[in-house]
Amino acid sequence: MRANDLISTLAEKHGYPKISLYFPTHVKGQEIQQDPIRLKNALQEAKAELEKAGTDPRDIETLLADAYARIDERDFWQHQKAGLAVFIEEGSTTWQKLTFTPLEEAIVGDAFHLLPLFRMAGNGEGFHILALNNSGARLFDADDRSMTERALELTPAALAAARGASDFNDDVGFHPNSRGAQGTGAEGAPQNHALGTGKDEQAEKELWRLLTFIENQVSDALADSDAPIVLVGGDRITGHYRDMAENQNIAANGVQKNTASMSDADIHAAAKDAVSGELAKPATEAQETIAARVGSGEESASTDVDAITEAARNGRVESVLIDFKNRDGAHAAILNRIAALVHGNGGQVLATPMLADDTMRPVAAAYRY
């Protein structure tokens, strides 16, 4: 489920107890063995909070049973991303893979803790990286600190079947004529440019088939994500992919470099630099707008928690910036409530670490009226 849809569903649920667990997970390696232990620790912490609140031990056991059962499911832990969120209420346990590495949290209250999910809802931090070359593709979930690879069904046999047997390189020349590419013909149809016929034409067709196959794989893999995709690879192959992937959120800037010459660390660093401005733009613009309004004494913006809470209840908040790293218990519950109200009323919620101005922490908002 996409993050925005999950937020909308969970934000409507109220009544104690609502349990929210967040913790990092791993895609591969020995570190995977740590992940069920992290879940167990989070459940123990939640259990302690429930006991402290006087919840009947039999009810606690029933409430947490589904989550505890996952601890020993080996296959489940072999198919994770950078993090995992678990939302538990009576009769229901919801699991959400995360494309970013979350802080470890176990929160029990009368509403689900949703602030971290806004980081995955097109609100300025997580992104994907698609590294392309003539041998196939690699897909990563990334944030500004790290990246983790997603498994795609790109076996040698599948790739060979998709493209045929001929070899070609990243610079084979064809351009779909959409998005300003040269050539004539139906929009989106591959057009030859000074290639003639024969081997080059065959290579052109094979590349088109290969990229179509990869595009379908990526669309399936990212069906639950709104985050931008940074393309990394030779200029022509990334250009072709950008032209064909009309239904994917391709970042405006990519990295035009042969991936064969790049380490994983190089790919992450280059992609992060390419997308950083795009990721930061919504929060930067909102922060500048709010700061200007507050500085001029306008009543259409505020940094007062109580005032923003009231405005959120009345549907007046156009956009709100929330410092998701704020871990003060009292503030966390209020900020979570503000985010849910603003989201529910169609406002923009930006969970961001960018509130550098102390006067704007932990929350700042611009009003509709």
pLDDT at 198: 61
> Binning pLDDT at 50, 70 and 90, where does residue 358 land?
low
Q: What is the mean pLDDT of the chain?
A: 85
DSSP 104: P
End-of-domain residue from the set 91, 120, 149: 120
- Whether 11 and 30 map to the same domain: the answer is yes
**Domain housing 33:** 3-120
> Binning pLDDT at 50, 70 and 90, where does residue 300 land?
very high
> What are the residue ranges of helices labelled H in the chain?
3-11, 34-52, 57-70, 74-77, 156-163, 199-221, 235-244, 264-295, 305-313, 329-344
Flag whether 183 is in a domain.
Answer: yes
Residue 115: name the closest of 346, 365, 324 by CA: 324
Give the count of domains, the chain: 3
Per-residue pLDDT tens for 145-187? 788 888 888 888 888 888 775 444 444 333 333 333 333 333 3
- Whether 271 and 136 map to the same domain: the answer is yes
- Whether 256 and 146 map to the same domain: the answer is yes
Q: What is the CATH number of the domain that holds 361?
A: 3.30.1330.30
User: How long is the chain?
Assistant: 369
- Whether 205 and 159 map to the same domain: the answer is yes
Residue 278: name the closest of 238, 237, 320, 249 by CA: 249
End-of-domain residue from the set 120, 146, 177: 120
pLDDT at 353: 64
- What is the SS3 assignment for 366? strand
Distance CA 88, CA 65 (A): 10
Per-residue pLDDT tens for 195-249? 445 667 888 888 889 999 999 999 999 987 878 999 999 999 999 999 999 889 9
CA angle 352, 358, 360 (to 5 degrees): 60
- Whether 145 and 115 map to the same domain: the answer is no
Flag whether 103 is in a domain.
Answer: yes
* pTM given for the model: 0.71
Distance CA 335, CA 192 (A): 55
Residue 84 has pLDDT above 80, yes or no: yes
Is residue 133 within 8 A of residue 258, CB to CB? The reply is yes
Q: Do β-strands 83-89 and 14-24 pair in parallel, antiparallel, or remain unpaired?
A: antiparallel
- Whether 240 and 343 map to the same domain: the answer is no
Flag whether 160 is in a domain.
Answer: yes
- Whether 113 and 131 map to the same domain: the answer is no
pLDDT at 201: 81
